[in-house]
Amino acid sequence: MFRFFRLVKIFVVAFRYGLEEFPLAAEPSGRLAGLTQRLLFFRPLKEERGVRLRRALETLGPIFVKFGQVLSTRRDLLPTDIADELAKLQDRVPPFDSELAVAEIERAFGRPVSEVFERFDPAPIASASIAQVHLATLPGGIEAAVKVLRPNMLPVISRDLALMDAAARLVERFWSQGRRLKPREVVAEFAKHLHDELDLMREAANASQLRRNFQNSPLLLVPEVYWDYCTPTVMTMQRMHGTPVGQVDRLVEQGIDLKKLSRAGVEIFFTQVFRDSFFHADMHPGNILVAPDGKYIALDFGIMGTLNEADKNYLAQNFLAFFNRDYKRVAQAHVDAGWVPAGTRVDEFESAIRAVCEPIFDRPLKEISFGRVLLRLFQTARRFNLEVQPQLVMLQKTLLNIEGLGRQLDPDLDLWKTAKPFLERWMSEQIGWRGLVRGMQNEAPNWATLLPQLPRLAHRALTDDPAARLEPLLVEIARQQRRRTNAVIVIGTILAVLLTLAIIVRPGLF
């Protein structure tokens, strides 16, 4: 029943703000849009279309606001008036009543807000779809920013996610390409990250991890978390001073080198993904400041992405292959990963990828639309039955945010030349002798546990009756080789111990 009423509300809000204009207006003739407006002559729409879309998303709640935030970074895909209006969703979402924020703080800490903080400003300095931020002073005069969760968020989000899941089921059932795109898995991945945002202790842990990853970094600052003032609904962290990255004119006035800033953004992204496997997955302009010295300042750590080693290696190999225009390697990597059917002709897949990617090389960012490139890639994927990987959806979203940010700061940025040296350096550290020695050093503690057990395990394996498992001929061969195998195991064990000790004692030996 709740789903039904929520669905009714969505249709009512869409009708109230005239959202039917948007898909209909895209028709070449525009006749259907005009007919609709004439039929609904009794409903005057005085506001501009961008304003109506923004207000509709704000009315529908946090999930739809987040949708608008992502759209606002895609200026190459949206008309200017709509993109400008949706950009207000980044940090100008209507705040909730300050009395509710104070009440939540007092409930969380069990005492009046005046006893928690030396000073607390009831007027929020920023309001987002999930929470809002107030300035405060901790005991001892430490400046802090206090993030307070919006009240009664879980029921609304749960209903919206249920609607999204229902829509995904319909897509899988009635659209021939639905199962390949895995919409339900994508919704589940989005739901997991959204629920993570509702636990501010988890966000505080994310912030602490990212700060540790970039400790003493010349590129990125992350606020310190004050754990004694954190609960699941209240998060207190270091107050950061900077200029919103979207205010390009102010950055120019402050003498910030925008080209250097844009290159640093690309390096930060690839460092998070390939060095740390832990990346900020909500990098819209409302979550990024620029310090007076030109460093980035990261805010809002509710959505963080992670990748396993297989995903990292797959991405790195594909990125480098793209940068080197080695489309055959890209095609083969997809086949090897099992993301396309085993019988796929690599040469045909290679040709299709070349047709999509070749036109965008040697062009500055202002002449490239990754949105359109992704659309063509999806069309190619549909042709070759490529399965969408839900674990990479957050990374794809972040890449689009990075593109939108880079387009604002430096339209002439060459993304390929900026990223390629970093990826080549990372790959050189993962393969060859350096990668082998690092892997052996990481496994050394496990070897220390396993090696003392090796003689016992080998003896057990050799003394088991093999007759039940082997043919008579193999049984005879095994008996003849037993003594020889024992000697090999002893020698191998000694060599492994010596090599492990050499690596531990002298790490630079190799």
Neighbours of 277 (CB within 10 A): 14
**Which DSSP string do the residues of 189-238 spell out, in sequence order?**
HHHHHHHHHT-HHHHHHHHHHHHHHTTT-SSEE-PPB-GGG-BTTEEEEE
Residue with tokens 């962290």: 237
Residues 298 and 385 in one domain: yes
For residue 230, being part of any structural domain is answered with no
Output the six-digit token pair for 188: 């589940």
- Do 11 and 80 belong to one domain? yes
Taking CA atoms, 174 is separated from 40, 162, 178, 185, in Å, by: 31, 18, 8, 17
Residue-level pLDDT at 25: 40
Residue 18 backbone phi and psi in degrees, to 5? 65, 40
Q: Are residues 324 and 304 in the same domain?
A: yes
CA distances, 239 to each of 223, 236, 251, 357, 407 (Å):
7, 9, 20, 43, 28
CA distance 44 to 147: 39
* Tokens standing for residue 403: 């593109």
179-191: per-residue pLDDT in tens?
656 677 767 766 7
Output the pLDDT for position 71: 66
* Residues of the chain under the 70 pLDDT cut: 1-7, 20-46, 70-78, 90-92, 174-182, 186, 189-190, 193, 362-366, 368-379, 381-382, 386-394, 396-397, 416, 430-444, 446-448, 450, 454, 457, 459-510
405 shares a domain with 436: no
Please provide residue 236's backbone torsions phi and psi, each rounded to the nearest 5 degrees: -120, 130
Residue 114 lies in a domain: no
Q: Is residue 45 part of a domain?
A: yes
Q: State whether 40 and 50 are in the same domain.
A: yes
Q: Is residue 273 part of a domain?
A: yes
For 261, 264, 321, 370, 484, the CA distances from 75, given in Å and listed in that order, are: 20, 21, 28, 11, 71
Distance, in Å, from the CA atom of 341 to the CA atom of 171, rounded to the nearest integer, reads 22
Beta bridge pairs of residue 148: 132, 234
Same domain, 347 and 391: yes
331 falls within a domain: yes
Domain endpoint, select from 430, 454, 477 = 430
Domain boundary among 398, 430, 462: 430
407/312 same-domain check: yes
Same domain as 424, residue 389: yes
Does residue 252 sit in the same domain as residue 269? yes
Mark whether 282 is an active-site residue: yes
Q: How many domains in the chain?
A: 4
Q: What pLDDT does residue 434 have?
A: 62
Regarding whether 423 and 280 lie in a shared domain, the answer is yes
Q: What type of residue sits at position 489?
A: I
Between helix 370-383 and helix 346-357 the angle, nearest 10°, is 160
Query: Domain end: 89, 107, 127, which one?
Result: 89
- Residue 177 covered by a domain: yes
Distance, in Å, from the CA atom of 454 to the CA atom of 64, rounded to the nearest integer, reads: 58
| Structural domain boundaries enclosing 319 | 247-430
Residue 208 is assigned to a structural domain of this protein: no
Residue 237 near residue 223, CB atoms below 8 Å: yes
Looking at the domain assignment, is residue 312 inside a domain?
A: yes
Does residue 183 sit in the same domain as residue 299? no
pLDDT for the residue 321 = 79
For residue 479, the SS3 value is: helix
Q: Tell me: do 479 and 359 sit in the same domain.
A: no
pLDDT of residue 231: 96
- How, if at all, do strands 142-149 and 234-238 pair? antiparallel
Measure the CA–CA gap between 114 and 101, rounded to whole angstroms.
13
Q: What is the predicted pLDDT for the residue at 170?
A: 75
Q: Running DSSP on this structure, what letter comes out for residue 130?
A: S
As to burial, measured by CB atoms within 10 angstroms (0-12 exposed, 13-18 middle, 19+ buried), residue 258 is: middle
Distance CA 57, CA 14 (A): 9
CA angle 70, 238, 267 (to 5 degrees): 50
Q: Which of 91, 282, 300, 410 is catalytic?
A: 282
Rounded Cα gap, residues 251 and 405, in angstroms: 14
